[in-house]
């Protein structure tokens, strides 16, 4: 029997990255490899320490995590899949505590931001930023902290034996985060692929982007994301990132062949099957 | 003599927002109003508690702060200016300490990310996320913390009497953050304006974005930022944010008049003079 595949995740056990890794590869059992930074996720996939990596790339509150696009551009890895995770945040504390007992709420800054309305409605709660949602829950359990709550997932409540004092406290019910699955090698079987992430640089001429979008439109390629990314070393220039979707893979191939000569540089970050929201 | 104008900033005294506010309004002396969240900055401008607000909108590492575009869309405020601040991060500690004495480095998560190479090269330093760069410096001074350093600006070192153990420790020398200046009222004198931020929603048809970009190209309007912004309540739709630049304001007016009927909704977030990088 094969050993379990190793999946590098950003964050600790029971973090949202861990939940996505378990779900994406199910029913295959995996072994997750916690990494404290995104760069560590990329490095471990590159050097073979892990088989795949999982990384958040976009959330409906903060937008694209551009740093991860730089890493995708620089590391020899390929996107082989994506997953959307509805983000449900909960207020967790030791059993027996109630909301009025809590003075301090710890969590990742993004999680606190996602729950800003709840925190404003409960002005007696002081928000304190921490490195990870699930780690905030673990610390409450390990140090037996009363008066302290964490904002984290149900999975973190279950793992660390905490009660859910309030559920679904995020501002937007339909909040989700998009994750990418990366691998050293591009996906080989493209028969089910219907989406690609493409990064390109244009000659410094106005209107070129419109011409490229025309090519995609003429070939029935849909745009699901467009984003200019500043080039660090050339402050007045940018690259363009497009997420493209199609019904027929041949259309995508034809579009890329047509667009390639119109660009200075083009990099296909991955061709994959689109995730379900 | 008029009282000093009140400028709402995100973060505390000597934060990067404070530095931008002082520089933008110089030689006018200002009184800055520290706010712990961006939403507080908008609320204080709206209710007249402050005359203007300053908010980070984009940095070369993490990209656009989409949450602030939502606030710009929802609050009755207008962008009246922008400023670019080169971000220089430094390692600050109590006088007499050296890098080898330090065990823990505290700062805002973004600042720690900006210095990830330095932190990897000094594995004995444990990074700890905190709410603000300048506040991390203040806490070292107030609690007389040895073995702890903050990643923050020179202004924070000066304000809190800390030594700079290492200067310019950010990964990219040309790292900058873009800030917007907001006001209850749109700028009245547009004679020096040469930039606008425009948010619009298209009918759900492919290729419309290309048509709109063609209008701007034909009227010599340059694109300096393009960004799709997911609509929370409609996960498969998005609005488009464009930053546009021109030599002749009449061209911009003509372009908007032409583009308006092609959109479902268009909101000009502000017309202003572009900042110097």
Backbone angles phi, psi at A223, to 5 degrees: -100, 125
Note whether residue A1 is domain-resident: no
Who has greater pLDDT, B233 or B126? B126
Q: Is residue A199 part of a domain?
A: yes
The domain boundary residue, chosen from B183, B210, B233: B183
pLDDT score of A63 more than 80:
no
Number of domains in chain A: 3
Residue A221 pLDDT class (50, 70, 90 cuts): very high
Q: Which residue has the tokens 């200046």?
A: B181
| pLDDT of A235 | 65
Question: Nearest to residue B214, comparing CAs of B257, B264, B255?
Answer: B255
For the beta carbon of residue B119, count every other beta carbon within 10 angstroms: 19
Closest-CA distance, A58 to chain B, in angstroms, reads: 10
CA nearest to B179, candidates B42, B57, B71:
B57
Asked if B5 and B48 count as a contact pair (C-beta separation under 8 A), the reply is no
Answer yes or no: is pLDDT of B101 > 70: yes
What pLDDT, in 10s, does the model give residues B199-233?
A: 999 876 667 898 999 999 999 999 999 988 877 66
Residues of B marked as catalytic:
177, 179
Q: Are B154 and B227 within one domain?
A: no
**Is residue B154 in some structural domain?**
yes
The pLDDT assigned to A208 comes to 85
Of A3-12, A114-123, A194-203, the poorest mean pLDDT is in A114-123
Cβ atoms of B198 and B244 closer than 8 Å: yes
For residue B235, the model assigns a pLDDT of: 65
- Position A212 confidence tier, pLDDT thresholds 50, 70, 90: very high
What per-residue confidence (pLDDT) applies to A204? 66
Q: Tell me whether residue A88 is exposed, middle or buried, using C-beta atoms within 10 angstroms of its C-beta: 0 to 12, 13 to 18, 19 or more.
A: middle
**Regarding beta strands B104-107 and B90-93, do their DSSP bridges make them parallel or antiparallel, or are they unpaired?**
unpaired
Q: Quick one: CA dihedral A222, A227, A232, A234, positive or negative?
A: positive
Which token pair is A105? 């709420």
B227–A227 C-beta distance less than 8 A: yes
- Contact residues, chain B, for A220 at CB < 8 Å: 206
Lowest mean pLDDT among A106-110, A209-213, B239-243: A106-110
- Mean pLDDT over A6-32 rounds to 92
> Cis (ω within 30 of 0) for the bond into B27?
yes
Quick one: closest CA in A to B223, which residue?
A: A206
Provide the pLDDT for residue A154: 92
Rounded average pLDDT over A129-142 = 88
- B2 pLDDT tier (thresholds 50, 70, 90): low
Spatial separation of the C-alpha atoms in residues B176 and A265, rounded to whole Å: 25
| Residue A87 or A157, more confident | A157
- Give the sheet arrangement for strand B90-93, strand by strand: B126-129, B104-107, B148-152, B90-93, B163-166
Contacts of B209 in chain A (CB under 8 A): 213, 223, 226
Please give the pLDDT value at position B247: 94
Tokens 């048509």 — which residue? Answer: B211
ipTM (interface pTM): 0.77
Could you tell me if residue B189 is inside a domain?
no
* Report for A11-15, A109-113, B101-105: range of highest mean pLDDT: B101-105
Find out whether B90 and B115 touch, Cβ atoms under 8 Å: no
Which is nearest to B81 in space by CA: B20, B169, B152? B20
In a domain, B61, yes or no: yes
B156 vs B191, higher pLDDT: B156
> Distance between CA atoms of B50 and A222, rounded to whole angstroms?
44
Residue A257 has pLDDT above 60, yes or no: yes
Interface contact B209-A207, CB threshold 8 A: no
CA A125, A126, A129, A135 dihedral sign is negative
Sequence-ordered list of residues with C-beta below 8 angstroms from that of A110, at least 6 positions apart, any chain: A59, A61, A62
pLDDT of residue A109: 74
Lowest mean pLDDT among A41-55, A183-197, A198-212, B150-164: A198-212
Position B174 pLDDT exceeds 90: no
Residue to test with chain A: of B195, B213, B224, most A Cβ within 10 A:
B213
pLDDT of A228 over the 80 cut: yes
Q: Which candidate from A66, A109, A214 shows the least CB-CB separation from B210? A: A214
Assess if residue A190 is contained within a domain: no
Q: Looking at the structure, do residues A29 and A159 belong to the same domain, yes or no?
A: no
* Chain A positions in Cβ-Cβ contact with residue B11 (cut-off 8 Å): none
Give residue A27's domain range.
Answer: 6-86+175-183
Q: Are residues A31 and A154 in the same domain?
A: no
- Residue B109's pLDDT is 74
pLDDT band, very low/low/confident/very high, at A205 (cuts 50, 70, 90): low
Q: Are residues B109 and B154 in the same domain?
A: yes
pLDDT of residue B61: 61
Considering only the beta carbons, identify the residue of B131, B210, B223 that sits closest to A217. B210
The better pLDDT of the pair A40, B254 is held by B254
Helix H or strand E encompassing B154: helix B154-159
User: CB of A111 within 8 A of CB of A132?
Assistant: no
Joined tokens for residue B223: 């694109």
B1 domain-assigned: no
Write out chain A residues lying below 8 Å of B215, CB-based.
none
CB pairs under 8 A between A and B: 116
Give CA–CA dist A163/A72, Å, rounded.
38
**Residues A124 and A145 grouped into a single domain:** yes
Q: Is A177 a catalytic residue?
A: yes
Cβ contacts of B253 within 8 Å, gap of 6 or more = none
Question: Catalytic: which of A25, A118, A177, A252?
Answer: A177
Out of B157, B183, B209, a domain closes at: B183
CATH of the domain at B151: 3.40.190.10
Q: What is the pLDDT of residues A64-99, one digit of tens each?
A: 777 788 889 889 999 999 999 988 999 999 999 999
Chain A residues in contact with B226 (beta carbon < 8 A): 209, 226-228, 240
> Are both A77 and A102 inside the same structural domain?
no
The secondary structure of B33-86, three-state, reads EEECCHHHHHHHHHCCCCCEEEEEEEECCCEECHHHHHHHHHCCCEEEEEEEEE
**Contact A54/A17 with Cβ under 8 angstroms?**
yes
Check residue A23 and give its pLDDT: 95
Task: Looking at the structure, tell me whether residues B259 and B233 fall in a common domain.
Answer: yes
Separation in Å, CA of B29 to nearest CA in chain A = 30
> Are the C-beta atoms of residues B104 and B149 closer than 8 Å to each other?
yes
Q: Decide: B181 and B79 in contact? Cβ < 8 Å.
A: yes
The answer to whether the Cβ–Cβ distance between B129 and A128 falls below 8 Å is no
Q: Which of B109, B210, B227 sits opposite A109 (nearest CB)?
A: B109
Same domain, B80 and B95: no
Question: B109–A113: do the CB atoms touch at under 8 Å?
Answer: no
Question: Would you call B240 and A233 a contact, using CB atoms and an 8 Å cutoff?
Answer: no
Contacts of A65 (CB under 8 A, 6+ apart): A38, A55, A56, A57, A58, A59, B62, B63
Q: How far is A1 from chain B (nearest CA, A)?
A: 38
Nearest to A62 among B65, B120, B233 (CB): B65
CA-based nearest distance B166→chain A, Å: 22
Q: How many CA atoms lie within 13 A of B156 on its CB side?
A: 32
Query: How many Å apart are CA B38 and CA B57, to the nearest integer?
Result: 10
Query: Is the same domain home to B138 and B158?
Result: yes
Q: Please answer yes or no on whether A206 and B227 come within 8 Å at the CB atom.
A: no
Same domain? A79 vs A118:
no
- CA–CA min distance A108, chain B (Å): 9
pLDDT score of B62 more than 90? no
pLDDT confidence of B55, banded at 50, 70, 90?
very high
Q: Are residues A95 and A158 in the same domain?
A: yes
Q: Collect all residues of chain B within an 8 Å Cβ-Cβ radius of residue A229.
A: 63
Q: Which residue in chain B has the smallest CA separation from A39?
A: B116
Q: Please identify which of the residues A118, A179, A216, A252 carries the catalytic annotation.
A: A179
Chain A residues within 8 A of B217 when measuring between CB atoms: 206-207, 210
Q: What count of Cα atoms within 13 Å lies in the side-chain half-sphere of residue A213?
A: 23
Question: Which of residues A183, A211, A228 is at a domain's end?
Answer: A183
Mean pLDDT, chain A, whole residue set: 90
SS3 call for A147: coil
> What phi-psi label fits residue A263: left (phi over 0), alpha (psi between -120 and 50 degrees) or beta?
beta
Average pLDDT over residues B11-40: 90
| Residue with token string 């660009």 | A263
Asked whether residue A109 is domain-assigned, the answer is yes
Q: In chain B, count of helices (H) and strands (E)? A: 9, 15
Task: Mark whether B35 and B143 lie in a shared domain.
Answer: no
What is the spatial distance between Cα A57 and Cα B52, in angstroms, rounded to a whole number? Answer: 33
> Within a 10 A sphere around the Cβ of A229, how many other Cβ atoms?
20
Residues A213, B217: C-beta atoms closer than 8 Å: no
Strand partners, A228: A240
Per-residue pLDDT tens for B133-168? 888 999 999 999 999 999 999 999 999 999 999 999
Q: Give residue A237's pLDDT.
A: 79
Q: How far apart are CA B167 and CA B158, in angstroms?
A: 13
Question: How confident is the model over B37-52, as pLDDT tens digits?
Answer: 788 899 999 999 999 9
CB-CB under 8 Å, B60 with A63:
no
Determine whether the interchain pair B213/A217 forms a contact, defined as Cβ–Cβ distance below 8 Å: no
Strand partners, B151: B91
CATH no. for residue B241? 3.30.70.260
């Amino acid at each position: 029997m094969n050993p379990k595949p190793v999946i590098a995740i950003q964050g600790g056990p029971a973090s949202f990255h861990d939940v996505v890794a378990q779900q994406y590869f199910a029913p295959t059992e995996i072994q997750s490899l916690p990494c404290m930074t995104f760069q560590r996720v990329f490095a471990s996939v590159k050097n073979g320490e892990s088989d795949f990596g999982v990384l958040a790339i976009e959330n409906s509150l903060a937008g694209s995590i551009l740093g991860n696009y730089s890493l995708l551009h620089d590391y020899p890895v390929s996107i082989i899949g994506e997953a959307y995770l509805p983000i449900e945040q909960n207020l967790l504390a030791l059993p027996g505590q109630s909301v009025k007992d809590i003075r301090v709420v710890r969590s990742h800054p993004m999680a606190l931001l996602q729950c800003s309305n709840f925190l404003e409605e409960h002005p007696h709660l002081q928000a304190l930023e921490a490195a990870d949602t699930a780690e905030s829950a673990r610390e409450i359990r390990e140090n037996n902290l009363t008066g302290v709550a964490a904002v984290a997932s149900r999975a973190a409540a279950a793992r660390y034996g905490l009660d859910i004092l309030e559920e679904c406290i995020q501002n937007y019910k339909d909040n989700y985060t998009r994750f990418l699955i990366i691998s050293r090698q591009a996906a080989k079987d493209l028969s089910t692929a219907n989406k690609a992430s493409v990064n390109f640089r244009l000659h410094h001429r106005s209107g070129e982007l419109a011409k490229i979008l025309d090519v995609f439109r003429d070939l029935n390629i849909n745009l699901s994301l467009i984003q200019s990314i500043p080039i660090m070393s050339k402050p007045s220039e940018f690259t363009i990132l497009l997420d493209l979707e199609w019904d027929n893979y041949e259309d995508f191939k034809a579009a890329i062949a047509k667009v390639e000569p119109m660009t200075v540089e083009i990099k296909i970050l991955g061709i994959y099957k689109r995730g379900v929201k």
